[in-house]
C-alpha cells in the first residue's frame, strides 16, 4: 500500500462493551460508518449476535490483503487490535485517526469469556498461559497484558485516544458525552440523545 488507512479504531481486551459501542456508532453515524465500503471480506462479522451480545468485528493484520485495507470502514472494531495495532502502525498500514479503548474489570471480562467459551489464546507478543494458574486467572492476566501492550503502543506512537469505562458508559449519559468530546465521535456532530437510547443496561455481559 502506498498510504496507510486512517480509521477510528474501537478496541479493548474483550467482553468490555465494544459491540455496544459499535451499536451506538451505527445509531449516531449510520450503518455505512461501520460497513465495508466495497464488500464484506471473509473476516468481517457485521451481524450482531444476540446470544453473545457481540459482533461488528473487522479484523486487520499484516496478512490482510490490500483490498481488505482499502475496504475498511470509517470505524473498525476488534479486540485483537490490542496486540496487532503496533505492527500495523510500524508497517504504515494503519494510522488511527482516533483510538477508543474500552476498559472493564478484568475478572468480570474473564468470567464472561469463559462462560461463552471464547477464551483468549496466545496473540502475537502475548504468550500462552502459566499452568500454575486456573482458567479464570490466566484470562485475567492475558487481558491485563494485552491492555498494557496497547497503552505502550499508544505512548510510543502518540496515538490520539480516549479510555472509556464499561459498563459505566452505557449507564451514565453525561460521562459518555464528555468522553466523546473532541473525538471523531464528537457529540455535537449528531443527535447524541437519540443515539444514546440504543443502550440497554440489561445487555451488560454476565
Cα(113)–Cα(110) distance, integer angstroms: 5
Average pLDDT for residues 175-203, to the nearest whole number?
92
- Torsion angle, alpha carbons of 152, 156, 162, 164, to 10: 0
Task: State residue 40's pLDDT score.
Answer: 54
163: CB partners within 8 A, 6+ apart: 101, 103
Q: What is the pLDDT of residue 204?
A: 56
Q: What's the confidence (pLDDT) of residue 206?
A: 47
**Structure confidence at residue 1 (pLDDT):** 46
Banded model confidence at residue 92, pLDDT cuts 50, 70, 90: very high
Q: Could you tell me the three cell numbers for 130?
A: 502459566
Peptide bond into 167 cis (omega under 30): yes
- pLDDT > 90 fraction of the chain, expressed in percent and rounded: 55
The mean pLDDT value for 168-178 works out to: 97
The torsion defined by the Cα of 182, 156, 66 and 61, in degrees rounded to 10, comes to -100
* pLDDT at residue 31 tops 50: yes
What whole-number distance in Å separates Cα of residue 105 and Cα of residue 109? Answer: 6
Give the Cα separation of 178 and 187 in Å (integer): 8
According to the model, what pLDDT value does residue 158 have? 98
* pTM, two decimal places: 0.88
- Mean pLDDT, range 150-161, rounded to an integer: 98
Q: Percent of the chain, pLDDT > 70?
A: 84
Give me the mean pLDDT over the 138-155 stretch. 93
Amino acid at each position: 500500500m502506498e498510504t496507510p488507512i486512517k480509521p477510528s479504531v474501537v478496541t479493548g481486551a474483550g467482553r468490555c462493551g465494544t459491540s455496544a459501542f459499535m451499536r451506538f456508532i451505527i445509531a449516531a453515524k449510520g450503518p455505512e460508518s461501520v460497513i465495508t465500503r466495497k464488500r464484506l471480506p471473509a473476516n468481517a462479522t457485521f451481524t450482531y449476535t444476540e446470544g453473545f451480545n457481540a459482533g461488528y468485528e473487522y479484523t486487520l493484520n499484516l496478512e490482510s490483503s490490500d483490498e481488505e485495507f482499502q475496504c475498511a470502514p470509517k470505524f473498525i472494531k476488534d479486540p485483537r487490535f490490542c496486540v496487532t495495532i503496533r505492527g500495523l502502525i510500524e508497517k504504515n498500514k494503519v494510522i488511527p485517526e482516533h483510538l477508543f479503548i474500552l476498559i472493564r474489570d478484568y475478572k468480570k471480562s474473564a468470567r464472561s469469556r469463559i462462560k461463552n467459551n471464547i477464551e483468549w489464546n496466545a496473540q502475537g507478543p502475548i504468550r500462552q498461559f502459566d499452568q500454575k494458574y486456573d482458567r479464570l486467572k490466566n484470562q485475567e492476566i492475558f487481558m491485563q497484558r494485552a491492555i498494557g501492550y496497547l497503552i505502550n503502543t499508544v505512548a510510543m506512537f502518540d496515538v490520539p485516544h480516549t479510555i472509556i469505562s464499561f459498563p459505566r458508559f452505557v449507564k451514565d449519559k453525561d460521562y459518555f458525552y464528555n468522553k466523546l468530546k473532541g473525538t471523531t465521535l464528537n457529540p455535537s456532530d449528531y443527535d447524541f440523545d437519540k443515539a444514546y437510547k440504543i443502550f440497554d443496561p440489561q445487555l451488560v455481559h454476565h
